[in-house]
Amino acid sequence: MRMYPVPLDLMKEDKIFGGKLSLRQFIILIIGIGLGIAVFIEMYRYFNIRIAAIPGVLFALLGFFGANFDKDGMTLDKYISYSIQFYLQEKKYAWKGSAEIEENQ
């Protein structure tokens, strides 16, 4: 029986948790659920359970969205870091022409 080497896709994350979530997705999901629980507990001290559940569920959904985020092949953490770099870096503008160059021609 012949053995063929199977190429590895090193750019794709391994699905560890249930074959559906990678480690990065699982951590983002746990952070979102944890924030949702913390917001629920803090708001439950001052409001009733219905009002406290709304932001708690919203934070949990935000964590679920963040875990599954994919824009142009970028994950959420890369997208946020690239966005911050873009807005904070010095921008260089290249002008196609100027009045002085057009007068000399």
Per-residue model confidence as pLDDT tens digits over 29-61:
899 999 999 999 999 998 888 888 998 899 889
Q: Is 17 helix (H, G, I), strand (E, B) or coil?
A: strand
Residue ranges of alpha helices (H) inside the chain are 23-44, 49-67, 76-88, 99-104
The model carries a pTM of 0.66
Q: Angle at which helices 23-44 and 76-88 pack, to 10 degrees?
A: 80
User: Which of these ranges, 50-54, 62-66, 84-88, 93-97, has the smallest mean pLDDT?
Assistant: 93-97
